[in-house]
A = this chain, B = another copy of it.
Amino acid sequence: MKLNFKNSAIIIVLVFLNSFKIFAQEKVEQWNRFEIKLQHHNKGNSFNDVQLSAKFFNSDTTFFVSGFYDGNDIFKIRFMPQEIGKWNYIILSNIDSFNNKKGSFECIKATGKNHGIIKVSDTYYFKHADGKNYYPFGTTAYAWQHMGNELQEETLRSLKKSGFNKVRMCVFPKDYTLVKEEPIFYPFEVKKIETDTKGKKVFTWDFEKFNPLFFQHLEERIDDLAKLGIEADLILFHPYDKGRWGFDSMPNDINLKYLKYLTARLASFKNIWWSLANEWDFLKAKTVKDWDLLTKTVVKNDPYMHMCSIHGSTSTYYNYWKPEFTHVSIQDEAPVLNSYSAATLRNIYKKPIVFDEVGYEGNLKSRWGRHSPEQMTHLVWNGIIAGTYVTHGETYMFHNEKDTIYWADGGSFKGTSWKRISFLRDIVEEAPEPLFMADISRDLNTASAGKGYYLIYFGNEVNESWFFNLPKKNGDLEKLKPGTKFKVEIIDTWDMTITTHPITFETKAIDNYRFYDKDMKDIRLPLKPYIALRITEIH
């Protein structure tokens, strides 16, 4: 067991209190991980026997966090400080040598690319804790950290060169068509492995004992993602097990114990999102009531309120209006076939909307895995114009036996939409504010990003020209005025070019709803689908 603090440690100090050792840092950046490491030999099952938590407090806030057993007589308590300055703590435990131990550390200002935990902002959007807008451009690699180490490193390299800033990934290993790899670690201690008459391995788990190596590995990978500025949208349960390991149908008390252990370990990771499940409705052992309890358990054990949602099968919507869910994480492609349907979900839920599965770019026979790269890109654009977010995924069938399917294994991207999505991310991040539909339910393809900024997307329409025109309405903002001057840029979303149109346009009211150019000027457009326009006010 390595006693390192790969990401958050600045200085490791040894505090001697009553000749008992506490390993912890002296200084930690905001939103990085403060970790207390404690040693104690317990004869029984330390996962069950030892109660361990701590109270962290500064002059105006108090947090209670749970500790956990990390194997080899090592216990840990982790905390994510959010405010700079001195933080104090008191350890609470049924182990005498731990109990009532006190300490403190200094939280220092975040540096570099550390923008902090993600929070919901202004109802529909996400922001880092430091105020930087966060626009989720996610991809999918459900079981990447369960693959061989070389492949994991390849996944990290491919993510690094992509524009993705969120990955949907499962805690538990995956058994599915095209995904049969045995994981490198198991979450529980193995009691025994037998082989049944068909040659299938039959595992008997000691559900009372977690396997710290499994979780340490998961944490390393989440930290690796953090270094790349990528959020880990961690799926806590999934149905892709089919009796192979049985993690989809553990007793409910074990499910709760697992969630408490997982949150004690991971809640202090700034780039964690909780996804209670993938395709929750396919987990037949659990009822909606069970899911409600599991969700509440996660939220209750996460003092920082990380993003939290749950994900169903196609068009299966959970009760996302429940307060535990910070955002809506949907599998459904119908609403992103155009912008206005996607925007309707904003209007209904009044939370950020993330279409976390809309089908994948690929060449599978299954319809969920055979979008053209153009269609994958188009669906992401539709979501963006609606002020929502759409997650990418790639399911290209193996070319040879060394080949991998990104959606499950990770590896390298074989498709071409990922580059276009990165291009789109740049456009979105250059906008002054998050996008919303300027004239909701009436203008079907014009997004606004505040005053003087519009993004119009023509989807798969092929238009020869476009009369300069904008809606008078601009969300809840001040209405557009006549005499406003605009620059227009033509965006080829597929070829990834942005061409500035040489002419300046000036608005003139035509009716109570639309403004055209005062001289009714129009623009020639490339005779291609997937053209967008960026229209910005000139002062």
Contact = CB atoms under 8 A, between A and B. Distances in A.
Interface in A496-539: 511-513
B334 A344 contact: yes
A315 B344 contact: yes
Interface string A317-354: 10101000000000011110110110111011100000
Contacts of A338: 337-338, 341
Interface in A439-468: 440-442, 444
A367 interface: yes
A49 B338 CA distance: 59
A350 to B, nearest CB: 8
Contacts of A345: 344, 348
Contact of A441 (B319, B332, B366, B442): B332
A365 interface: yes
A316 interface: yes
Nearest to A331: B441
A317 B347 contact: yes
Contact of A343 (B321, B333, B334): B334
A505 to B, nearest CB: 23
A330 to B, nearest CB: 9
Contact of A344 (B335, B365, B367, B442): B335
A249 interface: no
A366 B511 CA distance: 10
A8 to B, nearest CB: 40
Nearest to A337: B340
Contact of A440 (B315, B341, B366, B442): B315
Contact of A444 (B319, B334, B344, B366): B334
A301 interface: no
A511 B365 contact: yes
A310 to B, nearest CB: 14
Contacts of A366: 512
A366 B444 CA distance: 18
A88 interface: no
Interface SS of A by simple majority: loop
A444 B334 CA distance: 8
A314 interface: yes
A101 to B, nearest CB: 47
Interface residues of A, number: 30
A314 B335 CA distance: 18
Contacts of A314: 440-442
Nearest to A333: B441
Interface string A355-391: 0000000000111000000000000000000000000
A394 to B, nearest CB: 20
Contact of A348 (B317, B333, B440, B511): B317
Contacts of A348: 317, 345, 348-349
Contacts of A440: 314-315, 334
Given A334-B341, A340-B334, A340-B341, A316 B347 contact: yes
Interface centre among A340, A366, A511, A513 (most CB of B within 10 A): A340
A537 to B, nearest CB: 25
A315 B442 CA distance: 10
Contacts of A333: 441-442
A344 B341 contact: yes
Contacts of A321: 319, 321
Contacts of A367: 442, 513
Interface string A75-114: 0000000000000000000000000000000000000000
Contacts of A343: 334
Nearest to A366: B512
Contacts of A442: 314, 333-334, 367
Interface of A: 314-317, 319, 321, 332-335, 337-338, 340-341, 343-345, 347-349, 365-367, 440-442, 444, 511-513
23 contacts: A314-B440, A314-B441, A315-B344, A315-B440, A315-B441, A317-B347, A317-B348, A321-B321, A332-B347, A333-B441, A333-B442, A334-B341, A334-B343, A334-B344, A334-B441, A334-B442, A335-B340, A335-B344, A337-B338, A338-B338, A341-B344, A365-B512, A367-B513
Q: Return the 8 tightest CB-CB contacts between A and B, nearest first.
A: A334-B441, A341-B341, A334-B340, A315-B441, A317-B348, A315-B440, A315-B347, A317-B347
Given A315-B344, A332-B441, 12 more contacts: A314-B440, A314-B441, A317-B347, A333-B441, A334-B341, A337-B338, A337-B444, A341-B344, A348-B349, A365-B512, A366-B512, A367-B513
